[in-house]
A and B are shown apart, each in its own frame.
Chain A
Amino acid sequence: MAAREKLGFLRQRFGSAIVRADLTSDRRLYVFVEPRSVKEVCRALFRELDARYVITIGADDRPWSGCFMVAHNFAFDRDRLLVSVMCLLPADSPRIESISDVVPAANWAEREMRDLVGIEAVGHPYPKRLVLPDGWPDGLHPLRKDVEWDEAPDCDDSGTGYDFDDPPEGCTVVPFGPFHPTLDEPAHFRLYVEGEIVRGCEYRGFMVHRGIEKLAESVLGYNDIPIMAERICGICGCVHNVAYAQSVEEAVALRPPPRAEYIRTIMLELERLHSHLLWVGLACHIVGFDTLFMQAFRVREPVMWIAEKISGNRKTYGLCVIGGVRWDITPELSDELKTVLDKLESEWHSVARAVKNDRNIQRRTRGVGVADAKVVKEMGLIGPVARAAGVDIDCRRDHPYAAYDRVGFRVITAQSADVWGRLVVRTDEVFESIGIIRQCLARLEPGPIQTPIKEDLPAGRFGLSSVEAPRGESHHFVITGENNRPRRWRVRAPTYQNLQGVPSMIRDAQLADMTIALGSIDPCFSCTDRIEAVDVRYGSVKVWTPRELREMAKRPQSGRDIKDS
């Protein structure tokens, strides 16, 4: 009973500051704390009990409790326990002491909370905007309940410069991103470079913030959100889909049937397979080894096809609804999947053997992008990055969900803490995933794939779910609500934490190692802020200003507006 132990420790230490504690199961603990003691409770959990920081959530709870709500989530991986330290803040002064100096990993989450919900983290070491653009009006916090979902304020910032920090003395600024051929996502790193050595960086991201959480809390319904959730990520979409469904199911104490749990496990592992194969290929591509990039993608393709046969789509499987799954695995599909796995295993053996002994790859990745166990702890890094540093964490084993408690697998770790270690971890995890799917197929028991839901889901319940995505832990937090939709749904994707480790990975490293250290981030000047439209018939050039483009984007789209020109 680890949960009771931790609660006993906190009660003994903080006494009356612990207002309320909910033990919903052996594996979940919700502690309500007086706002003034939150920082000390977090310090005790993080430093003394050695918890892993997961995420901070801010919520506007004014329509129900009249307060704002803050939750700091921690994980005790060896004890299979997730702890949420919660507190209520008065509606007229939503301020709470920042925990970022105790828990450095909370840096982004507290800034995001200030941007989106308007809860001020007092004493934050770097209180700069994170999510909202520079031109967004002050005092307008999109996740507050009194802001409409389609609110579109004028964010024209064309007259002002970007709010960048000054580089340190003697350093030159090299901008990375937001657009580059090898850059998967628009993120902007301002690198402070001294000669060829990177001394530090400033990160500006969230350029494609889509407001999915706001949509879920104001427009969509419980069963619409899984479809939207899997569009959070193009690679690990099914992870978000399952994590959301699981967090709602946990909140309302609904258990999907065993067959559905096995099917979820199978699809999650199929997704891990294709993601690992893709990443190994991509890593080879970044270090300039395109032969293996091609081979990894060739080996990966049958995985996409079998996913398409099971779910009707190569990606975005549309797998979960609350209480079960939508697609069953028939005996024929099961046989076909086994054939695909057999072929994949033998082919991946030969690829892995080639990769692991290739001295060129080793030279290019060993000692590059080092994030050791200390950085992992301080910045809350997860997934292959943590495991490559010898930190033995894996949500599939530590916080079992779906059918992972009924299958056996090894958690692969490495000790080198560099890109090479991550490559080895991900290469070897492929074999474990194949093993997991085989075990699931063998144990797939007949039965229903959805639990019937008879009544409306109760409101005001909390649900947490950690799902091991190929890149690390995806964490979902849900407060159920009225009108068939959650009050608050917070998604923490693995990259959210791992990106915060990037500055220490690249510090004092060669500029040329950035690309592989960041996996897919590469330098480029491409901050184009306008588009030219050339009329070929007259040769005239029209230059669109940012304001015109913004106006065009606001106008309702319809087929008639788009003409050939």
Chain B
Amino acid sequence: MSLLSKIRETVLCLKAGRVTLPYPAEPRPVPPRFRGRPIFDAAKCIGCAGCANNCPAREILVHDVCQELRIIQYLGRRCTFCGRCADVCPEKAVTMSHDFETATNAIADLSQRLELFMSTCQRCGRCFPEPSPLERLKLKGYRFDDVASERWIFHSKGYLDAESTVADIRIDLD
């Protein structure tokens, strides 16, 4: 009885043969739907910040330097490649690439920075057509995420002033 099952198990192993793949000596192609690192296209981006509002990991920062210049910075540190940014982008400026070998010694290598010319935009949020009310832009107006220390600040203002918004939020930096 037991011997028979041992023979069965041996046959099982012999029939399987070798199954290990030569990766990473040879690259392994990924399926078409594979979700790798998101790539942000500055030429297509209109700066609506829909991706930043709907990023579950809060990995996309938005900072308005002045009336004409908005910085959108993707950090890539704890991004889980869920693809929500690509889902909600009205301009298809975010694509989920097939790039998954992202190990690096300097985590800043993974970040992407978009410096966008915003014309005379008032940041009313109308250029972001939300797929449903659940994705509606919560932060309209000007945003002041702390790009320097890579901190997300869920706060916006209807106007730009000289004082930085960062100061009125309680942040423990050290």
Contact = CB atoms under 8 A, between A and B. Distances in A.
B133 A453 contact: yes
A558 B33 contact: no
B173 interface: yes
Interface string B28-49: 0011011100000000000000
Given A298-B19, A556-B151, A223 B35 contact: no
A220 interface: yes
Given A295-B12, A559-B77, 9 more contacts: A221-B134, A221-B135, A223-B54, A227-B82, A294-B13, A301-B19, A309-B33, A327-B33, A453-B132
A166 interface: no
A245 to B, nearest CB: 11
Interface stretch (B63-71, B104-112, B121-129, B157-165): B104-112
A223 B150 contact: no
A351 B13 CA distance: 10
Nearest to A225: B56
B2 interface: yes
A454 B1 CA distance: 64
B117 interface: no
Interface of B: 1-2, 4-6, 8-9, 12-13, 16, 19, 30-31, 33-35, 54-58, 77, 80-84, 87, 96, 105-109, 111, 132-136, 138, 149-151, 154, 172-174
The interface residues of chain B, by DSSP majority, are classed as: loop
A301 B20 CA distance: 11
A359 B133 contact: no
A326 B88 CA distance: 12
B23 to A, nearest CB: 13
A222 interface: yes
B135 to A, nearest CB: 6
Contact of A298 (B16, B80, B151): B16
Contacts of B151: 556
A312 B58 CA distance: 21
Contacts of A407: none
B163 to A, nearest CB: 22
Contacts of B105: 562, 564
Given A223-B135, A227-B80, A562 B107 contact: yes
A357 interface: yes
A224 B54 contact: yes
B4 A559 contact: no
A301 B6 CA distance: 23
B84 A292 contact: no
A456 B12 contact: no
Contacts of B82: 227, 316, 318
Contact of B1 (A318, A357, A453, A484): A357
Contacts of A360: 2
A209 interface: no
A484 B2 contact: no
A405 B167 CA distance: 55
27 contacts: A223-B84, A227-B80, A227-B82, A227-B84, A291-B9, A292-B9, A295-B12, A308-B34, A312-B35, A313-B34, A316-B82, A322-B134, A326-B83, A350-B12, A357-B5, A358-B2, A359-B1, A359-B2, A453-B133, A453-B134, A484-B138, A554-B172, A556-B150, A557-B77, A559-B106, A559-B109, A560-B106
Contact of B8 (A223, A231, A354, A557): A354
Contacts of A562: 105-107
Contact of A222 (B35, B108, B134): B134
B32 to A, nearest CB: 8
Interface of A: 152, 219-225, 227-228, 231, 291-292, 294-295, 298, 301, 305, 308-313, 316, 318, 321-323, 326-327, 350-351, 353-354, 357-360, 452-457, 483-484, 554-560, 562, 564
A294 B107 CA distance: 35
B55 to A, nearest CB: 8
Given A223-B54, A295-B16, A301-B19, A454 B133 contact: yes
B25 to A, nearest CB: 19
B173 A309 contact: no
B165 to A, nearest CB: 17
Contacts of B56: 220, 224-225, 227-228
B13 to A, nearest CB: 6
A452 B57 CA distance: 24
B54 to A, nearest CB: 7
Contacts of B149: 556, 558
A38 B16 CA distance: 59
Nearest to A228: B56
Given A228-B56, A316-B80, A455-B133, A353 B109 contact: no
